[in-house]
Structure 1
Amino acid sequence: MKILEVNAGPLTQFEVLDFLKSRGASSDPTRVIAPIAPSEFQVYDYLIQKAACNQTRESVKEFLKRCEKFDLAKAEKLNIIDIRPSSVVEIDPIIEECEKRMRSEVVHELVEMIAQVFPPVQMPDQEAAAEN
């Protein structure tokens, strides 16, 4: 692997998960064939249970485009993508001085937009149970 840009910035959990999948990480119990370190499998196992497992590049791009009007910092956007808050209570600690920066209606609008753009978090175990 060749480094294209040193310290390009923080990555979302989705980007890390996507990278690990591109290297061959999966839920395969044998994990013998993939050229991945055991620590990378641990990261994969962790991320596959988070909001990142249901996200797509398109949904992340759409979120970044639609959240421009909310004047969020890069770190706030990254945390929203990683955590996928689904209520005002969950979003308040993510946005610094939320009550001062945003009216209540705007925060509710942001939460609704997040719910529209990102699918609900559904773990792989839940998907298998839903199919049966």
Structure 2
Amino acid sequence: MEIVNSNSSQLSNYEVLKHLQQLKDGRKKDKRQGQLATITYETLRYLENTPCNQQTPETITTCLKALERFNLSKNEKLMIINLPPTTALEIQLMIEESEERLTEEQVNEILVIVAEHFPHVQKAEEKEEPEES
């Protein structure tokens, strides 16, 4: 295996969505790129139904700054941005050894930070929950 670009980094879902939208808008229809067009279309369709569709560079940046004090890895921050957690269980699944690294109060603080920066996630989940009779 050969390293093509040693400076590459991971992209958030938001960055992938914006890049694919630019490709789609800037590309002329070319029948030779049928499979690429299909993959681009399917990926865009998927990402448009995820929280990243409502994110902005500013909300992502401010959320990451607010999360700095928790000493999270880049991958953990990326997971929080891509799929903003709404419960303590989701945080446990995203953050390695969260029981040892974070107190219950810190987990609640992370949930508050996420809710402040990505309020659309909370609203979407409230719509999905069926009302109890």
Shorter-chain TM-score bucket reads 0.7 to 0.9
What does 1:93-132 align with in structure 2 at a 5 Å threshold?
93-121=93-121
Where does the alignment leave 5 or more consecutive residues of structure 1 unmatched? 26-31, 127-132
Matched length: 114
- Judge conservation of contact 1:55–1:119 (CA < 8 Å) in 2: no
Structure 2 match to 1:129:
none
Q: TM-score, normalised by structure 2?
A: 0.76
Q: Deviations over 1:76-130 (max 9, x none)?
A: 000001111111111111000001001100110011100101132377xx9xxxx
Where does the alignment leave 5 or more consecutive residues of structure 2 unmatched? 31-35, 128-133
- Judge conservation of contact 1:24–1:34 (CA < 8 Å) in 2: no
Calculate the aligned-residue CA RMSD, in Å.
Answer: 2.3
- Following the alignment from structure 1 to structure 2, what is the Cα–Cα distance between the partners of residues 77 and 61? 11
Structure 1 match to 2:9:
9
Q: Deviations over 1:19-59 (max 9, x none)?
A: 1122235xxxxxx9667711111100010111111111111
Larger Rg: 2
User: What's the % identity of the aligned pairs?
Assistant: 33
Q: TM-score, normalised by structure 1?
A: 0.77
- Judge conservation of contact 1:54–1:119 (CA < 8 Å) in 2: no
